[in-house]
Amino acid sequence: MNAEETIKNKISKYIDLIHFDIRDKTGKHIHHRNFDGGLHLSIILVSDGFLGLPLLNRHQLVYKALGTLIKNEIHALSIKTYTSEEWENQVS
């Protein structure tokens, strides 16, 4: 199982996902002087489980789902979270 599948599986255990998109941006950082090998990721999550949750709580839920991955394998993570209604407004 690759890192993207692992991340989706971990998040899916905590959040009922309507849409999941992950982009690996590690390649843009490989030649940086301080590159330590950790993943640089950008994710978009759509779930009605985010209804009524402030942004901070949404992100905390994602970090909780990722557990030790965030400490050991992921160096940088950009998170965008939406409810289905917010997502529809975003893409239309």
Per residue in 21-54, pLDDT (tens digit) is 999 876 554 555 554 557 778 999 999 999 999 9
CB contact set of 3 (below 8 Å; sequence gap of 6+): 24, 39, 73
Question: pTM here?
Answer: 0.84
pLDDT in tens, 60-71: 999 999 998 887
Cβ(78)–Cβ(59) below 8 Å: no
- pLDDT value of residue 54: 98
Does residue 58 register a pLDDT over 80? yes
- Indicate the burial class of 59 (C-beta count within 10 angstroms; 0-12, 13-18, 19 or more): middle
Q: What residues contact 35, with CB distance under 8 A and at least 6 apart?
A: 29
User: Whole-number mean pLDDT of the chain?
Assistant: 87
Domain architecture of the chain: domains with CATH: 3-91 (3.30.300.90)
